[in-house]
């Protein structure tokens, strides 16, 4: 028997041994399952563990967490539990079978054997297990020929109703297909297309589609994933009535580069929600009202919606940055925007001047702050205080353009601005 866990990294080795010892003690059978088995067989890095327990997963996980003094969280509704190990987590699930009361809704579950548990899963490559039990520790359990599909590069569903039961699997199929440069197996592709034609995606809770779409956009090089979604007309079925010509996918590569540039050069700025920039590259191509509707229906968060919609309001303003403009104009244009929108525009507009101006903003202008405070204006006798907002705005633009270094420079400029204001009113 080949021990598939022989080469597992030294961090996980003792954890798996300890799980195995506890299973022996409790006289229950446990297995490593799902994506982690797939990734081990592909030689990919692994992060988290999924364990199927042929008994109560919650009891098993609870005891394991106690032994290792780790944080433990249970989810009664699903009969699952998670134990947190440093930066990794171990998910425990009771072996279960699933039946779908109707297409697209969440399944009804009941305890079952490992074989049935594996049958409820999405694709053969995700339906393998490795035994953690003493008698056959490390043995691959492959009822559905996952290993052969892995070798031949096929994404294959386990039964014909799979996509109808859970249409989010259509997005998952594309995610795995593109991630591993595999192919959807012929019959699987036919069934995916059939499910799409029957508008199966329309039957799923849109929030679940949102989650899957985000996962897809979080993959490396999301452009090729979007291309595939487009080929299969899936964006359109999600209400994104977009037309991509061949060259239109170039934006995704530009975004990859822009994100790299941002990450390498502006380490002190906050981390980007990279997937959102890619989503922008899909959505800006459709009407503002359709984008707003899509974001609402799919349950995107308010902040995400604001950032995406800001593209429409700023597309033309950004073009002005292709001219020679004063630094404060750059500031005024870019400061109200999120980093995601700015990076989108950096990728979208390939004109040298626009890019240079954006770099200037991110590098220098964004950090410029006034030394002068409201209290200082009050001491100078400026009235009424309702004017201060306007004065500060003008003062900041003057500081940006003229490069003031001292408080004195700011004070004398503030006086000029105030006098100008008084003479006009
Ligand atoms: N699964 C499924 N159907 C879904 C979601 C998940 O059958 N709609 C099963 C698969 O067996 C999958 C496992 O649950 O392997 C764990 O799901 P998840 O963590 O989402 O996927 P991974 O396969 O681990 O993929 P990733 O590498 O992207 O985390």
- pLDDT per residue of the chain (425 residues) written in tens, 0 to 9: 899 998 898 999 999 999 999 999 999 999 999 999 999 999 999 999 999 999 999 999 999 999 999 999 999 888 899 999 988 999 999 999 888 887 777 888 888 999 999 999 999 999 999 999 999 999 999 999 999 999 999 999 999 999 999 999 999 999 999 999 999 999 999 999 999 888 888 888 889 999 999 999 999 999 999 999 999 888 888 889 998 988 999 999 999 999 999 999 999 999 999 999 999 999 999 999 999 999 998 999 999 999 999 999 999 999 999 999 999 999 999 999 999 999 999 999 999 999 999 999 999 999 999 999 999 999 999 989 999 999 999 999 999 999 999 999 999 999 999 999 888 87
DSSP state of 212: H
219, 336: one domain: no
The atom number, within ligand 1, closest to the CA of 169 reads 8
Rounded to whole angstroms, the Cα distance separating 192 from 183 reads 13
Answer whether 253's CB lies under 8 Å from 285's CB. Answer: no
61, 132: one domain: yes
Residue 273: CB atoms within 10 Å: 18
What residue numbers bound the domain in which 383 lies? 374-424
- What pLDDT does 180 receive? 97
- What pLDDT does 107 receive? 82
**Cα 407 to the chain's mean position, in Å?**
44
**Residue 58: partners with Cβ closer than 8 Å, 6 or more residues away:** 74, 76, 79, 80, 81, 92, 94
- What is the residue with the minimal CA distance to atom 25 of ligand 1? 35
Kindly give the distance from the C-alpha atom of residue 127 to the centroid of ligand 1, in angstroms, as a whole number. 9
- What pLDDT does 155 receive? 98
90, 21: one domain: yes
Answer whether 81's CB lies under 8 Å from 61's CB. Answer: yes
The atom number, within ligand 1, closest to the CA of 36 reads 24
- What pLDDT does 357 receive? 98
Number of domains in the chain: 4
- What is the residue with the minimal CA distance to atom 14 of ligand 1? 34
- What pLDDT does 111 receive? 84
Rounded to whole angstroms, the Cα distance separating 293 from 278 reads 18
47, 105: one domain: yes
Kindly give the distance from the C-alpha atom of residue 50 to the centroid of ligand 1, in angstroms, as a whole number. 10
Taking the CA atoms of residue 58, residue 62, residue 68 and residue 72 in that order, the dihedral angle to the nearest 10 degrees is 80
Rounded to whole angstroms, the Cα distance separating 282 from 227 reads 10
357, 392: one domain: no
Kindly give the distance from the C-alpha atom of residue 409 to the centroid of ligand 1, in angstroms, as a whole number. 61
- What pLDDT does 110 receive? 85
276, 396: one domain: no
Kindly give the distance from the C-alpha atom of residue 91 to the centroid of ligand 1, in angstroms, as a whole number. 12
260, 212: one domain: no
- Ligand 1 site residues, Cβ closer than 6 angstroms: 34-35, 50, 121-122, 126, 166, 168-169, 172
CA angle 188–194–200, rounded 5-degree value: 105
The atom number, within ligand 1, closest to the CA of 121 reads 7
Rounded to whole angstroms, the Cα distance separating 253 from 351 reads 16
- What pLDDT does 363 receive? 97
163, 284: one domain: no
Rounded to whole angstroms, the Cα distance separating 322 from 370 reads 27
Q: How many residues does the chain have?
A: 425
Kindly give the distance from the C-alpha atom of residue 121 to the centroid of ligand 1, in angstroms, as a whole number. 8
Kindly give the distance from the C-alpha atom of residue 126 to the centroid of ligand 1, in angstroms, as a whole number. 7
- The CATH number that applies at residue 288 is 1.10.3090.10
Kindly give the distance from the C-alpha atom of residue 75 to the centroid of ligand 1, in angstroms, as a whole number. 17
Which of 256, 253, 240, 246 minimizes the C-alpha distance to 206?
Answer: 240
- The CATH number that applies at residue 171 is 1.10.110.30
The atom number, within ligand 1, closest to the CA of 120 reads 7
- What is the residue with the minimal CA distance to atom 13 of ligand 1? 34
Rounded to whole angstroms, the Cα distance separating 146 from 149 reads 5
Q: In testing the pocket of ligand 1, which one of 105, 126, 182 has its CB within 8 Å of the most ligand atoms?
A: 126
Rounded to whole angstroms, the Cα distance separating 266 from 287 reads 32
Answer whether 36's CB lies under 8 Å from 48's CB. Answer: yes
123, 172: one domain: no
196, 172: one domain: yes
The atom number, within ligand 1, closest to the CA of 50 reads 16
The atom number, within ligand 1, closest to the CA of 168 reads 8
């Amino acid at each position: 028997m080949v021990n598939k866990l022989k080469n597992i990294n030294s961090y996980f080795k003792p954890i798996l041994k300890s799980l195995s010892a506890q299973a022996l003690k409790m006289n229950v059978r446990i297995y490593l399952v799902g994506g982690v088995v797939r990734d081990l067989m592909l030689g990919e890095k692994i992060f988290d563990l999924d364990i199927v327990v042929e008994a109560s997963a919650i009891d098993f996980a609870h005891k394991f967490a106690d032994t290792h003094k780790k944080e433990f969280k249970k989810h009664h509704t699903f009969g699952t539990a998670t134990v947190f190990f440093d930066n990794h987590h171990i998910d425990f699930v009771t072996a279960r079978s699933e039946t779908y009361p109707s297409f697209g809704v969440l399944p009804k579950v009941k305890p079952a054997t490992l074989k049935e548990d594996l049958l409820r899963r999405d694709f053969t490559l995700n339906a393998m297990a490795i035994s953690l039990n003493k008698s056959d520790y490390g043995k691959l359990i492959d009822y559905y020929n996952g290993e052969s599909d892995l070798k031949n590069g096929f994404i294959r569903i386990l039964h014909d109703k799979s996509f109808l039961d859970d249409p989010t699997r259509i997005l998952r199929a594309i995610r795995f297909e593109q991630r591993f440069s595999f192919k959807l197996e012929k019959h699987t592709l036919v069934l995916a297309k059939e499910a799409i034609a029957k508008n199966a995606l329309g039957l799923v809770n849109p929030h679940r589609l949102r989650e899957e779409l985000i996962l897809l956009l979080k993959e490396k090089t999301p452009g090729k994933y979007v291309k595939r979604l487009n080929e299969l007309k899936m964006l359109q079925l999600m209400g994104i009535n977009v037309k991509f010509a061949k060259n239109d996918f170039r934006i995704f590569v530009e975004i990859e580069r822009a994100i790299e540039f941002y990450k390498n050069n502006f380490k002190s700025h906050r981390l980007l929600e990279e997937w959102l920039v890619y989503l922008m590259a899909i959505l800006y191509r459709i009407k503002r009202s359709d984008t707003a509707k899509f974001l609402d229906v799919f349950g995107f968060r308010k902040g995400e919606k604001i950032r995406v919609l800001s593209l429409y309001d700023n597309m033309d303003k950004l073009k002005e940055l292709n001219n020679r403009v004063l630094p404060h104009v750059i500031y005024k244009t870019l400061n109200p925007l999120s980093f995601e929108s700015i990076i989108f525009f950096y990728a979208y507009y390939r004109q040298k001047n626009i890019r240079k101006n954006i770099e200037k903003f991110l590098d220098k202008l964004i950090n410029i702050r006034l030394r002068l405070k409201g209290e200082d204006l009050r001491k100078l006798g400026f009235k009424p205080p309702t004017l201060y907002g306007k004065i500060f705005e003008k003062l900041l633009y003057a500081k940006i353009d003229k490069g003031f270094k001292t408080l004195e420079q700011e004070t004398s400029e503030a006086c000029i601005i105030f006098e100008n204001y008084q003479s006009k009113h």
